[in-house]
């Protein structure tokens, strides 16, 4: 069992500990915090699903609240809320996360609840049928019956084929979920929900030694199972291209996107800053050129969809001005990218200041700090690297930003048009 204590300077103290069964723990004590946050990440996401068996990772985001040996369905949430806390979960392409934030005195009950459902989750046919219906309703609300609800799937589909592990959204296929048997779902849970495949981050007002004792008490007797191997990704990304989607939407949109470095690549921070220089705020290059000077766009935004085991996706989205077609706007964006020069020191400092503000805001609340540490742990291998983020940010040069943007492949285009304009 390793117990490594990182010094409080230049940032947060991070104490790491590993249980004998493989569960990894990181503590971020903060005696000034009014609460304590628990973040339990299982290293499984939609990338780990097989063709024809999609949506399982997200399904368990729901099933994990449907009771265990000593907890009734829905009781996990009600107990946390009765203690004055909040609880939620989310699924991404690379991990599934369960998180709570409670008054300090309620930490022990949170750990007991998490350990009990990891030990004895009630994966029954009744629960499967009920939560399958819940997920179906969620998909209708978030994707099927919402304007631009299929845009993200279209964007992902431009870069990854349907059999690529990153080629589907975490919500998965409702056809796949409808065909899933209880044995299929149980096997998925048995494979991935084990202590050796989990990272537990606890942040806030806590005593490190007492907290380690609590974690050992409630999680230490769980079976020691080695982490399952993650399948090697052999499918290649797609070369991209141009697609057009039409739907009942209020106005057209354009996305220009390209394959970017993976989430753990050192170049990703420079790319984030480059996207900010291009599209973050009214002082950004593309807003200045396309909105203010040329008047051919109402707005321009940048986004980055990170992937750990395949290329990420960088995207520039824009809404054309009235009377301007998405094709004209695409040509303008590609023209601006073609003549892109090295960012000025002023442009880069503005982007760094925006990034720093967002990062410090994220670290201010204990639940967001716990998630930042958990995400950094999964992505870069060490939760204490949250203490190095601003140092890494300051070290990025205009030349690095220019190189990362210049090395991008030719962007793909997604034209999303109202039906009347198609």
Q: Which residue ranges form the domains of the chain, and what is each CATH number?
A: 15-220 (3.30.830.10), 242-418 (3.30.830.10)
Going residue by residue through the chain, which has 422 residues, state the pLDDT in tens, using 9 for 90 and above.
Answer: 444 433 333 589 999 999 999 999 999 999 999 999 999 999 999 999 999 999 999 999 999 999 999 999 999 999 999 999 999 999 999 999 999 999 999 999 999 999 999 999 999 999 999 999 999 999 999 999 999 999 999 999 999 999 999 999 999 999 999 999 999 999 999 999 999 999 999 999 999 999 999 999 999 999 988 878 888 899 999 998 999 999 999 999 999 999 999 999 999 999 999 999 999 999 999 999 999 999 999 999 999 999 999 999 999 999 999 999 999 999 999 999 999 899 999 999 999 999 999 999 999 999 999 999 999 999 999 999 999 999 999 999 999 999 999 999 999 999 999 997 44
174, burial (CB in 10 Å: exposed 0-12, middle 13-18, buried 19+):
middle
State the pTM of this model.
Answer: 0.93
Question: What is the DSSP code string of 165-214?
Answer: TTSS-TT--HHHHHH--HHHHHHHHHHH-SGGGEEEEEEES--HHHHHHH
Question: Could you give the CA distance from residue 258 to residue 409 in angstroms, rounded to a whole number?
Answer: 6
Q: What DSSP character marks residue 289?
A: I
């Amino acid at each position: 069992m390793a117990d490594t204590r990182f010094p409080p300077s230049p940032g947060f103290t991070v104490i790491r500990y590993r249980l004998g069964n493989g569960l990894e723990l990181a503590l971020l004590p903060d005696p000034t915090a009014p609460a304590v946050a628990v973040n339990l990440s299982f290293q499984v996401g939609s990338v780990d699903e097989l063709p024809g068996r999609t949506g399982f990772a997200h399904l368990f985001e729901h099933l994990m609240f449907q009771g265990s040996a000593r907890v009734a369905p829905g009781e996990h949430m009600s107990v946390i809320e009765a203690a004055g806390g909040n609880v939620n979960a989310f699924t991404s392409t690379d991990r599934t996360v369960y998180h709570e934030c409670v008054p300090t005195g309620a930490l022990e009950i949170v750990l007991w609840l998490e350990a009990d459902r990891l030990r004895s989750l009630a994966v029954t046919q009744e629960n499967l049928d009920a939560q399958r219906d819940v997920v179906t309703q969620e998909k209708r609300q978030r994707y099927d019956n919402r304007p631009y609800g299929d845009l993200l799937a279209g964007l992902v589909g431009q870069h990854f084929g349907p059999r690529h592990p990153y080629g589907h959204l975490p919500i998965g296929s409702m056809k796949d979920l409808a065909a899933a048997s209880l044995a299929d779902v149980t096997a998925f849970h048995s494979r991935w929900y084990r202590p050796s495949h989990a990272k537990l981050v606890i942040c806030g007002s806590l005593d490190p030694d007492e907290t380690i004792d609590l974690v050992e008490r409630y999680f230490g007797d769980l079976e020691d199972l080695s982490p399952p191997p993650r399948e090697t990704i052999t499918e290649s990304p797609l070369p991209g291209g141009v697609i057009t989607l039409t739907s009942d939407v209020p106005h057209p949109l354009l996305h220009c996107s390209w394959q970017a470095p993976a989430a753990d690549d050192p170049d990703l921070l420079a790319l984030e800053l480059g996207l900010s220089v291009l599209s973050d705020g009214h002082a950004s290059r593309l807003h200045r050129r396309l909105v203010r000077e040329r008047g051919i766009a109402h707005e321009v935004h940048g986004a980055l969809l990170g992937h750990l085991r395949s290329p990420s996706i960088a995207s520039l989205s824009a809404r054309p001005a009235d009377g301007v077609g998405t094709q004209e706007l695409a040509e303008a964006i590609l023209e601006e990218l073609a003549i892109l020069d090295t960012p000025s020191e002023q442009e880069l400092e503005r982007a760094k200041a925006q990034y720093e503000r967002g990062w410090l805001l994220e670290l201010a609340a204990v639940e967001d700090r716990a998630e930042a540490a958990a995400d950094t742990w999964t992505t870069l291998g060490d939760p204490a690297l949250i203490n190095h983020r601003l140092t890494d940010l300051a070290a990025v040069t205009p030349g690095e930003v220019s190189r990362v943007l210049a090395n991008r492949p030719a962007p793909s285009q997604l034209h999303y048009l109202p039906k009347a304009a198609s």
